[in-house]
Structure formats: C-alpha cells, structure tokens
Structure 1
Amino acid sequence: MNLTYKGISIAYTISGQGKTVTLLHGFLENSTMWTDTVALLEKTHQVITIDLLGHGLTDCLGYVHTMQDLAEAVNAVLVNLNIAKTTLIGHSLGGYVALAFAEKKPDALEGLCLMNSTPFADSKERIALRDRAIRVAKTNYSNLVSMSISNLFYEDNRLRFEKEIEQIKTEALKTPLQGYVATQEGMKLRADSTLILKNLTCKKLIIAGKNDPILSKTDLQHLEKLKDVTINVLEGGHMSHIENKEEFLQNIMHFVE
C-alpha cells in the first residue's frame, strides 16, 4: 500500500487483527526484513511495516532526513490508518526513529523495543566514520554497501549466513544514493534520547547482540542503569533477527503479549 505524503509516496503493509505493532527497519534495509516477524505476529496482532524515507519503495524527501522527518512520516501512516495506539519495534535506525516518535507522541505508545539500537547520540568518531562513508558512497556505492552489510554480522557468523547476507545486500542496493546520504546526515544530527527513553511510561525492551559492532558493551552498561527497561542480550552481532532468529522471535512475542 502507499500513502501520498508531502508530494512523495510512502510504502507500507498492514496485516492481521488485534492490537497494533509497528515495525521500523534499519539503515539500508526495508520492510522485507520483517517477513518472519510479521508471519508470527499477524496471528494475534495487527502488524504494520513502513519503508522509511529514502528506503525500499518510499521516496526521498530532500537531502537530509532527520529522525524527526522519518518519525513524522511514520506518524502520517498511522494517522491515515486511524491508529491511536501502537507498540513500536525499531531495528538500528528504526530505533532512532521510534525514539523521535516517542518524543512527540509518548501517549501513542503501548510499548517500545529498541532492537540493536541505542538512545545515545553519535560520538565524534562515529560522525567522522559517517562523513567518510558519505564520501566513499559517492564514488564506490556498491562496494561500500556490500562491506557495510557484512560488517554488521559477528565475524564467526558470516560464512554461516552467507546466503542471507547476499539477500540483504541485494535489498540494500535498492536504496538510492540520495537516500543513503540523506539518512547518514540525519543520523549525525540526532540528539541524545536517553531521557526520552527513561521518561516513557510504557513497557520498554532493548534487544542487543553480544558482539554488536554498533551497540558497544560500554553503551550496554550505561543502559543497564536505566530503571523499567528490560535488556536481553543475544548471541551474535547487529542482526539479531537473523543471527539468533528463534530467540529473537520469542523475545518479541513475549514483549507484545
């Protein structure tokens, strides 16, 4: 399905019946990442997936996509579907977007799950890496995307999930260069959202990979100090829905129930 929003098209899917769960994919991903999750949740819930700005089948909206821009697009879909309450589950970038949504509409959330994601702003080192990646993307996009996807998996898992990695790379390359750059620029700009997460009164879950290259052990130690936030650490890297699929799905089902 598609929604016309500010002159562009936003792609989304909706299936199942019951309380609503909204799934937000990560950077260089799209709604196809949620196939197994949707198949499980739609048996008991209404499930919405949304292609974020500049990803999948959703158009770009300018040359910088802030987390607020992405969250407003998500809200537009939910408003169009008359969804007043939802549980948000966001993978990586999707978690940043979920927190931006939570800042504006905390009362609309029944639950928030940060999946391989963090409320912390980019460090100076991370910003420098994003700037470098943007420069490389403009000259060697395909190789950059291929390397970036492989590095999200724990090194010991890369051969095991070789087929899945190739499929993710194929989907990632559907992200246009403009979408890549605009989203990188937006992620650089995001502010620390720790207080937003702390002050939310809905149920909160963080799913982390034991060897996640994005969410460090130091970050996890800081997050463990937050009250009313459940943290489940799974084996693997940044792609828990693939590297530890069964346990991930069990975590998600328990959370939404």
Structure 2
Amino acid sequence: MILKHKNIAINYSVEGEGEAIVLLHGFLENLEMWNDLIPELSKNHQVICIDLLGHGKTESLGYVHTMEVMAEAVFAVLQHLKIETAKFVGHSMGGYVALALADQQPQLFEGLCLMNSTFEADTEERKVLRTRANEMAKTNYKNLIRMSFANLFAPESKVKFKDAFDAALKLALKTPLQGYIAAQEGMKQRPNRLKAFKAIKGQKLIVTGKKDSLINPKTLIPKIENTSIEHKEVSEGHMSHIENKSELTYILKHFIEK
C-alpha cells in the first residue's frame, strides 16, 4: 500500500488483526525481509511493515535521511492507520529509526526490540568508513553493495543459507544510489539514544548475534546492566532473521506476546 508523505510515496503493508506490531527493516533491506516471520507474528496481531526512505518502494527525500526524518515518515503511516500504541521491532538501521521515533512520540511505544541494532552513536572511525563508502558508491555501486552485504553474515552462513543470502543480496542491489547515500549520511548524524531507550514504557529487548561484525554485545551489555532492558544472544551474525530464523521467531513471539 502507498501513502503520500511530503510529496513522495511511502510503501507499507498490513497483515492480521489485534494489537499493532511495527517491523522496521535495516539498511539495504526493505519490508520483504520480514516475509518469513509475518505469518507467525500476524496470527494474533496486526503486523505493520514499512519501507524506510530510499528503500524498497519508498522514495527519497533529498540526499540526507536523518533517523528523525525517517521516523516522521513512519509516524505518518501509523497516523494514517490510526495506530495509537504499538510494539516495535527494528533491525539494524530500523532500530535507529525506532529510537528516533521514541524520542519524538514516546506515547506510541508499548515496547521496543533492537534486533542486531544499538542505541549508541557511530564512532568516529565508523563515520569515516561511511563517508568513504559514499564516495565509492558514486563510481562502483554494485560491487560496493556486494562487498558490504557479504560482511553482514557470519562466514559460514553465506554457504549454509546460500539461497536466502542470494535473495537478500538481490533485494539489496535494488536499493537506489540516492537511498544508499542518504541513509549513510543520516546514520552518521544519529546521537546516542540510551536515555530514550530506557524511558520507553513496556518491554525493552536487545537481540545480538555472537558473530555480528557490526554490533558488538561486549560494548553494549555493560551499559544496560541494572536496567529493565533485556538481552538475548543468538549464535550467528548480523542477519538473525536468516541465520537464526527459528530462534529469532521464538524470541520475537515471546516479546510481542509478553
């Protein structure tokens, strides 16, 4: 389905009935990443998936998509659907967007799961890498996507889950250059949002992958000790919905039904 927002198209889907669950995909992904999880999660809930700015069938708004601007687009969809409260699951960049939305509209949240995501800001080293990637993208985009996408998986997962890896890469390659650059620029600007995460009412959960090369649980977990934020670790890399699908499904079902 399409919603017009600031003169661009925002693509979203709705499945099932009941309490609302909002699923937000990550960088180089789109709402199709949730296809295998939706049948189970929508049995007793209304599951809303949204293509973030510059991804999937949602158009871009310039060359910098801050997490706040992405959150405004998500909120526009939820207002259109008359959603007053929901639980949110954000994969990687989707978690950053969810935290920005929690800063803007805290009353919306009944819970948030950061899935292979973090409340921390980019390190200076990471910002430099994003800047370099954006320069490289202008001349060698598809090869850059193939290289960076492969790094999201644990090494053995690319073989073990070859069909799913290939399908996800195919979707990643459809991400327009403008969407890629704008998201990278936006992620560079995001602040640390641990305070916003702690302030969310309801269940708060971080799911990390033991072999995730992007999100290091060893730096995150000490910062949530003695808080109401729970932590679950799965065995593989950054793409838990592919690499640890059955375990993740169990974790998310428990999260939304708790």
Structure-1-length-normalised TM-score: 0.98
Give the equivalent residue in structure 2 for 1:186: 186
Q: Distance in 2 between matches of 1:177 and 1:107?
A: 35
Relative to structure 1, the CA distance from residue 223 to residue 239 in structure 2 (aligned partners, 3 Å threshold; closer, same or farther) is: farther
Deviation (angstroms), 1:90 = 0.3
Tell me whether 1:128 sits opposite 2:136 in the alignment: no
| Distance verdict in 2 for CA 1:226–1:128, change over 3 Å | farther
Q: In structure 1, how many angstroms separate the alpha carbons of the residues matched to 2:57 and 2:128?
A: 29
Residue 29, structure 1, aligned to residue 29, structure 2:
yes
> Cα gap change, 1:198/1:141 in structure 2, threshold over 3 Å: closer, same or farther?
same
Matches within 5 A, 1:7-156: 7-156=7-156
Distance in 1 (alpha carbons) for counterparts of 2:225 and 2:167:
37
Shift of 1:164: 1.3
Structure 1: gaps spanning 5 or more residues: none
Partner SS for 1:117: coil
Give the counterpart letter for 1:191 in structure 2. P
Contact 1:91/1:116, CA 8 A, preserved across alignment = yes
1-structure distance, mates of 2:226, 2:106: 18
Q: For residue 204 of structure 1, give the secondary structure of its aligned residue in structure 2.
A: strand
CA distance in 2, matches of 1:4, 1:217: 38
Alpha-carbon distance in structure 2 between the residues aligned to 1:112 and 1:197: 8
3-state secondary structure, aligned to 1:237 = coil
SS at match of 2:127: helix
The aligned amino acid for 1:105 is Q
Helix, strand or coil at the partner of 2:62: coil
Q: 1:17 to 1:41 in 2, by over 3 A?
A: same
Cα displacement (A) at 1:161: 1.4
Deviation of residue 226 (structure 1)? Answer: 5.0
2:71–2:100 Cα contact (<8 Å) kept: yes
Aligned-residue offset at 1:219:
2.1
* Cα distance in 2 between the residues matched to 1:201 and 1:109: 7
**Contact 1:198/1:226, CA 8 A, preserved across alignment:** no
Q: Distance in 2 between matches of 1:202 and 1:149?
A: 33
C-alpha contact (below 8 Å) 1:110/1:202 kept by paired residues: yes
Does the 8 A contact of 1:88 with 1:112 survive in 2? yes
Q: Is the alpha carbon distance of 1:228 and 1:159 closer, same or farther for their aligned partners in structure 2, counting shifts above 3 Å?
A: same
| Separation of aligned partners in 1, 2:62 and 2:212 | 31
The alpha-carbon deviation at position 224 of structure 1 amounts to: 3.8
Q: Which runs of 5 or more residues in structure 2 are unaligned?
A: none
Query: What secondary structure does 2:87 align onto?
Result: strand
Counting matched residue pairs gives 257
Give the counterpart letter for 1:201 in structure 2.
Answer: K
State the percentage of identical aligned residues: 50
The answer to which of 17-26 and 214-223 deviates more is 214-223
When residues 160 and 84 of structure 1 are mapped into structure 2, their CA distance, relative to the original with a 3 A threshold, is same
Give the SS at the match of 1:201: coil
Cα shift at 1:144: 0.6
Provide the C-alpha distance between the structure 2 equivalents of 1:190 and 1:116, rounded to a whole number of angstroms: 17
| Distance across 1 between alignment mates of 2:256 and 2:190 | 27
1:114 alignment partner AA: L
1:170-229: CA deviation from partner (whole Å, max 9, x where unpaired)? 101111000000000000000110111122222101111011111113323334425101
* 3-state SS, counterpart of residue 73 of structure 1: helix
Q: CA deviation at 1:137?
A: 0.7
> Which whole-Å CA distance do the structure 2 matches of 1:40 and 1:88 have between them?
16
